[in-house]
């Protein structure tokens, strides 16, 4: 039968130790209910001695959450254990998790205790916890920097005292994967009572190796992994739950273990935890980051359009995301662009598609991401385009609250280059006067409107103008991330139409 690895979630205890996070009982309960849906095996709900608020939160979770084991943390002291036991009383499946540090550094400087004193405190703590609940977990804090002989003795005595789970923490994220695997294997071989307890690991991410260390431990035979949603936790955090679970899933061929997590709840859980804690998820975060299932590069997009598994090792649906995304930007290619147009309902002939793609690339050079609204604007703008008799090659404008606005333009009118300058009551007025002069067209602006087509600082601005020429109204549109440029394009577009109306335009 395939071995099962239990997922012990410590988002509400170690995760809450993330600098800047403080959760009230209501928030903790909401997260705990989602963890229940995620189907974690154990929820470490808090550290009841820490505060009345945490006591109440653990109690509320113990009362309301059914299914997972509810654990409460306690130092190896009577008062901590009594408080944890009290908070866990209503739990269907309570666990007291007691711990004491075992490394020379911690014993000497922090606890000021000898090895024998630590051993005695650990045994007493496990026994006291056992007087309240059947399920007792014992952790040797800073195990990875502890003396191996002492560690074996400590775990052995903890199991004899009644510990049902022994946890091996890499408290300060110091171990390397090979070292950590050696530590776990040595303990498995040298603690005679090890078969009577579940073996667990608890890894921190100070050197970015928490997930790798936890997965190495799985290969050594551990049956519980402690982790936190979004990798929250003290300092650089704990091993990320979603990364461990998806590694076990995606590489089941390699790890060959089962787990109980409903992976389709991963995305929702991650979002909820991020919203409630206020800790944003970095976009390139594995599994749950905004980019985890997004493809920007044309070659990748082409591959994914042909067959998703070319660049996706797990499906977005498997974590509860509706779909992957093809982000249109400067690295995108024709395949992805054409596909997006199709989704938006545009079927363009090849030459139109090529032109639209060229404009898309121009825009993508200026803008980080080209949105659907941008694309619609490009296609619609192109659809109503007459051949260009007037082309604005360049323009310059200078303005200020104490200076008259001045503008100059260089225009190509049917192959002839004309330069003109003008002043105006504002930059747009000055530019439009310069354009009228350069094109030698006597027309009048009757309406000007500007709107943002898309969102963000680099949004496309769309300018629409109405120009009166000999009593006839001509509409012009301009689109650019620069609103002055959009204004010039709109006016030139309207003037171009006046030329074609008079028969002065030439086909290009
Ligand atoms: C590796 C981990 O993540 S361990 C969990 C860490 N989490 C937390 O600390 C969050 C909650 N903590 C708290 O609210 C507080 O620290 C409390 C309530 C637990 C204790 O507060 P205080 O009594 O004010 O003590 P303080 O935090 O300043 O110092 C810790 C004390 O616990 C002792 N201690 C630390 N770990 C243990 C342990 N596992 N078993 C017994 N005693 C311990 C220290 O030696 C120190 O003792 P001293 O007061 O006699 O010097
Ligand atoms: C309480 C223990 C398990 C802990 O959080 C650690 O050692 O990091
Ligand atoms: Mg920890």
**Any idea which residue has 């946890």 for tokens?**
167
* Closest Cα to atom 50 of ligand 1: 111
Residue positions forming the annotated binding site for Mn(2+): 14, 202, 204, 238
SS3 345: coil
Query: Cα separations (Å) of 468 from 126, 442, 449, 476?
Result: 90, 9, 15, 11
State the distance from the centre of ligand 2 to the C-alpha of 202, rounded, in angstroms. 7
> Under a CB-based contact definition with an 8 Å cutoff, are residues 381 and 479 in contact?
yes
State the distance from the centre of ligand 1 to the C-alpha of 84, rounded, in angstroms. 14
Cβ of 13 below 6 Å from ligand 2: no
Q: ipTM of the predicted structure?
A: 0.99
Cβ of 202 below 6 Å from ligand 2: yes
354 Cβ contact partners less than 8 Å away, ≥ 6 residues apart: none
Record the tokens describing residue 138, joined without a space. Answer: 């014992």
Query: What sign for the dihedral angle of Cα 255, 260, 265, 269?
Result: negative
> Under a CB-based contact definition with an 8 Å cutoff, are residues 499 and 390 in contact?
yes
Burial of 206 (0-12, 13-18, 19+ CB in 10 A): middle
State the distance from the centre of ligand 3 to the C-alpha of 171, rounded, in angstroms. 5
Q: How much is the average pLDDT of 314-325?
A: 95
SS3 334: helix
Phi/psi for 233 (5° steps) reads 150, 175
- DSSP of 187-250: HHHH-TTGGGSEEEEEEB-TTS-HHHHHHHHHHTT-SEEEEBGGG--STT-B-BHHHHHHHHHH
Nearest atom in ligand 2 to the alpha carbon of residue 172 is 8
Kindly list the protein residues that place their beta carbon closer than 5 angstroms to ligand 3, a single-atom ion: 14
- The pLDDT of residue 380: 75
d(CA 476, CA 491): 6
Nearest atom in ligand 2 to the alpha carbon of residue 238 is 8
Cβ of 234 below 6 Å from ligand 1: yes
Confidence grade of residue 267 (pLDDT, cut at 50, 70, 90):
very high
pLDDT in tens, 155-175: 999 999 999 999 999 999 999
State the distance from the centre of ligand 1 to the C-alpha of 333, rounded, in angstroms. 57
- The topology under which CATH files domain 390-501 is Double Stranded RNA Binding Domain (3.30.160)
Cβ of 285 below 6 Å from ligand 2: no
* Closest Cα to atom 23 of ligand 1: 50
State the distance from the centre of ligand 2 to the C-alpha of 146, rounded, in angstroms. 14
- The topology under which CATH files domain 3-248 is TIM Barrel (3.20.20)
Q: Which ligand is nearest to the CA of 71?
A: 2
- DSSP of 17-48: GSTT----HHHHHHHHHHHHHHT-SEEEEE-G
Cβ of 235 below 6 Å from ligand 1: no
Cβ of 111 below 6 Å from ligand 1: yes
> Under a CB-based contact definition with an 8 Å cutoff, are residues 142 and 172 in contact?
yes
Range with the poorest average pLDDT among 1-10, 30-39, 175-184, 384-393? 384-393
Give the domain ranges of the chain. Answer: 3-248, 294-383, 390-501
pLDDT in tens, 82-141: 999 999 999 999 999 999 999 999 999 999 999 999 999 999 999 999 999 999 999 999
Confidence grade of residue 496 (pLDDT, cut at 50, 70, 90):
confident
Nearest atom in ligand 1 to the alpha carbon of residue 110 is 45
Confidence grade of residue 347 (pLDDT, cut at 50, 70, 90):
confident
- The pLDDT of residue 503: 59
pLDDT at 242 over 60: yes
């Amino acid at each position: 039968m395939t071995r099962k690895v239990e997922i012990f979630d410590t988002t509400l205890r170690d995760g809450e130790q993330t600098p800047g996070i403080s959760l009230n009982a209501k928030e903790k309960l909401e997260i705990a209910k989602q963890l229940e849906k995620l189907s974690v095996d154990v929820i470490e709900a808090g550290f009841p001695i820490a505060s009345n608020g945490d006591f109440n939160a653990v109690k509320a979770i113990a009362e309301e959450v059914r299914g997972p084991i509810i654990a409460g943390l306690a130092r190896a002291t009577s008062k901590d254990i009594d408080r944890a036991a009290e908070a866990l009383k209503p739990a269907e499946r309570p666990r007291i998790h007691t711990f004491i540090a075992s490394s020379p550094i911690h014993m000497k400087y922090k606890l000021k205790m000898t090895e024998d004193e630590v051993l005695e405190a650990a045994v007493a703590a496990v026994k006291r916890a056992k007087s309240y609940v059947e399920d007792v977990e014992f952790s040797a804090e800073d195990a990875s920097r502890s003396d191996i002989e002492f560690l074996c003795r400590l775990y052995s005595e903890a199991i004899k005292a009644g510990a049902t789970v022994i946890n091996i923490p890499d408290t300060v994220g110091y171990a390397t994967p090979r070292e950590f695997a050696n530590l776990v294997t040595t303990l498995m071989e040298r603690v005679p009572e090890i078969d009577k307890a579940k073996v667990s690991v608890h890894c921190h991410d100070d050197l970015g190796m928490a997930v790798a260390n936890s997965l190495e431990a799985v290969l050594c035979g551990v049956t519980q992994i402690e982790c936190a949603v979004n990798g929250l936790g003290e300092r650089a955090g704990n091993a990320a739950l979603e990364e461990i679970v998806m590694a076990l899933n995606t590489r089941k061929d390699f790890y060959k273990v089962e787990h109980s997590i409903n992976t389709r709840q991963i995305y929702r859980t991650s979002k909820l935890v991020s919203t409630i804690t206020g800790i944003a998820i970095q976009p390139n975060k594995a599994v749950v980051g905004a980019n985890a299932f997004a493809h920007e590069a044309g070659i990748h997009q082409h591959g994914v359009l042909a067959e998703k598994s070319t660049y996706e090792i797990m499906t977005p649906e498997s974590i509860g995301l509706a779909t992957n995304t093809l982000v249109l930007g400067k690295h995108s290619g024709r395949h992805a662009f054409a596909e997006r147009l199709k989704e938006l309902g545009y079927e363009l002939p090849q030459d139109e598609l090529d032109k639209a793609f060229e404009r898309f690339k121009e825009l993508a050079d200026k803008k980080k991401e080209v949105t659907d609204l941008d694309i619609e604007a490009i296609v619609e703008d192109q659809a109503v385009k007459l051949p260009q008799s007037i082309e604005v090659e360049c323009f310059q404008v200078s303005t200020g609250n104490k200076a008259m606005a001045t503008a100059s333009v260089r225009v190509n009118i049917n192959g002839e280059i004309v330069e003109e300058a003008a002043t105006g009551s504002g930059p747009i007025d000055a530019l439009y006067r310069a354009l009228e002069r350069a094109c030698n067209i006597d027309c009048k602006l009757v309406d000007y409107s500007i709107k943002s087509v898309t969102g963000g600082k680099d949004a496309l601005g769309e300018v629409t103008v109405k120009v009166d020429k000999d009593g006839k109204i001509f509409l012009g549109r301009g689109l650019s991330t620069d609103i002055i440029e959009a204004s010039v394009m709109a006016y030139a577009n309207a003037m171009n139409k006046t030329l074609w109306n008079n028969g002065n335009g030439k086909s290009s």
